[in-house]
Amino acid sequence: MKELEIETKKVWYWPSETYVKPFALSMEDWETFDNKVKKNYPVQYFFRNFLVVKYWILKRKINDFWWKLKHYVKNPRTEMRNIVFPSRYEDLPEIIINFNIQIIKELVEREKYFEHFESQLKARNKRGQFERDLKKYYHYVTVTRKEMTKEVADLLSKDNGFPFKKEPNLWAKKIKKIEKLDEEMIIWIAKYRQYFWT
Judge whether 155 and 167 are in contact, CB under 8 Å: yes
| pLDDT tens digits, one per residue of 65-77 | 988 888 778 888 8
| pLDDT tens digits, one per residue of 78-103 | 889 899 998 899 999 999 999 999 99
CA–CA separation, 63 vs 79, rounded Å? Answer: 24
Judge whether 178 and 127 are in contact, CB under 8 Å: no
Q: What is the pTM of this model?
A: 0.64
Count the neighbouring beta carbons within 10 Å of the beta carbon of residue 185: 21
CA distances from 192 to 104, 128, 142, 165 (A): 12, 12, 20, 42
Q: Which helix (H) or strand (E) holds 19?
A: strand 18-19
pLDDT of residue 69: 86
Confidence band of 14 (pLDDT split at 50, 70, 90): confident
Q: How confident is the model over 101-118, as a mean pLDDT?
A: 91
pLDDT of residue 99: 96
Q: How confident is the model over 114-136, as a mean pLDDT?
A: 88
CA–CA separation, 78 vs 72, rounded Å? Answer: 10
